[in-house]
Structure 1
Amino acid sequence: MDTQFLPFSSSIKEHLKTHLHTISIESEKIMKRLDCEEHCILCDFEDLQKTFQEIQSVAASYYLQRYLSPYTQNYIALSLAVHHLSEKRHGALMVIERKQVVDSLIQRGVPVGATLSATLLETIFYPGNPLHDGAVLIRGNEIVSASNVLPLSAQSIKNKKIGTRHRAAIGMSEQSDALVLVVSEETGRISFGLDGSLYPIHSSKNTFN
């Protein structure tokens, strides 16, 4: 992901520096504990991993907003929708078209042609809704269509098989410059696909702020 042209704001920098400083201190403690035969450091590594995941998701959330804002003015509605879907563990898949038109890459579902709103997105992805099983296509401030079928990636993450929604998010981002949001119905975790990679983002109502 090409991020060199997206400098962090001062508040995000301070947030990340604080967490990185904590990681540095905890790493030093773990190195000292290695000499203590009676201490198990597995829990220490687990805590360190959680801190890494936290700062990664905060950074990814910031980058996500910067990548979305030039292409849709309603990115706050997207933030609210994915947050609520995450809380309820309602699976979701959303393609936000950027410079490249993606019509030729998807199997078109049901036309919607409505203004992008959090309420409509949540309704579409409500379990049992006929349109929930597939991807929403967003172009600018409009929900163009729903229940679209995306190209699937053959990738796996950390040698583990991933679900269909996540494979679709990666696959779509491999073949286009689109940004693809995905909410896991198993865990409620939010990620976005871009340039063939998947990034976890911070689950917050202010995700894109």
Structure 2
Amino acid sequence: MDQINCDFSPMKEEIIKGIEHIMAELQGSIKILGNEHQCLLGRLEHIRKDFLQIEYSAATFYLNCYLSAFTDKFKELSISLQYLSKHRFGALIVIERSDPLEGLIQKGTPVGAELSSVLIETIFYPGNPLHDGAVIVQGNQIVSAANVLPLTQQAVTEKKLGTRHRAALGVTEMCDALVLIVSEETGKVSFALNGKLFPISDVQSLLHVER
């Protein structure tokens, strides 16, 4: 993973409290295990759900960290992700970071416009000629749309992992780009980095980060 150099204190505090809560639950579970009249399974299921919630919160936190040094348009991206997720419009947004994408992708249609939520939503609206493929973002600009990304060659174990997710994994295996994905089937949002996928459970939480 990348070196982390950011501070979004409210989110950090939320994650810390969540971890402390789980640690307390685990300690309590040890005591239950020593009591033959109590069953631990229900408590472990509760801990599992709490852990998943912390994972989602951490994904949101680190997404902010990874993007903050490379674009000032996080709010616009967040608004567009919320819209696309709500309407289940599939999307693939590549934020170029330190490594150039030149030579890694099949170039699409040049756009050359300032990034805005309206423009992102328009590009990925079903039926728009540019909605297939990926949008490339450099800094605060949408450079191009309808770009084709390389698909991952790794054996993907997740069920029903579509072309967008495989493309996001593929390009992030080859460079340090960060890719935002909206699933057309479920509306769920995730991001890919370093050849791994990280789900975001509540895209509305992206709007509540103090910048």
What band does the TM-score fall into relative to the shorter chain? 0.7 to 0.9
Name stretches of at least 5 consecutive residues in structure 2 with no aligned partner. none
Shift of 1:137: 0.8
| Contact persistence 1:182–1:190 (CA under 8 A) | yes
Shift of 1:120: 0.9
Shift of 1:164: 0.9
Equivalence for 1:2: 2
Shift of 1:13: 2.9
| Contact persistence 1:169–1:182 (CA under 8 A) | yes
Distance in 1 (alpha carbons) for counterparts of 2:46 and 2:124: 34
Q: Secondary structure at the match of 1:180?
A: strand
More off after superposition, 175-184 vs 50-59: 50-59
Distance 1:163 1:30, change over 3 A: farther
> What is the root-mean-square deviation in Å for CA atoms of aligned residues?
2.4
How many equivalent pairs are there? 207
Q: Secondary structure at the match of 1:104?
A: coil
Shift of 1:158: 4.6
Q: TM-score, normalised by structure 1?
A: 0.86
Distance in 2 (alpha carbons) for counterparts of 1:148 and 1:169: 12
Identical-residue share of aligned pairs (%): 47
Shift of 1:202: 4.7
Q: TM-score, normalised by structure 2?
A: 0.85
Amino acid across the alignment from 1:197 = K
Shift of 1:107: 0.9
More off after superposition, 48-57 vs 32-41: 32-41
| Contact persistence 1:179–1:194 (CA under 8 A) | yes
Distance in 2 (alpha carbons) for counterparts of 1:105 and 1:87: 31
Q: Secondary structure at the match of 1:111?
A: strand
| Contact persistence 2:189–2:201 (CA under 8 A) | yes
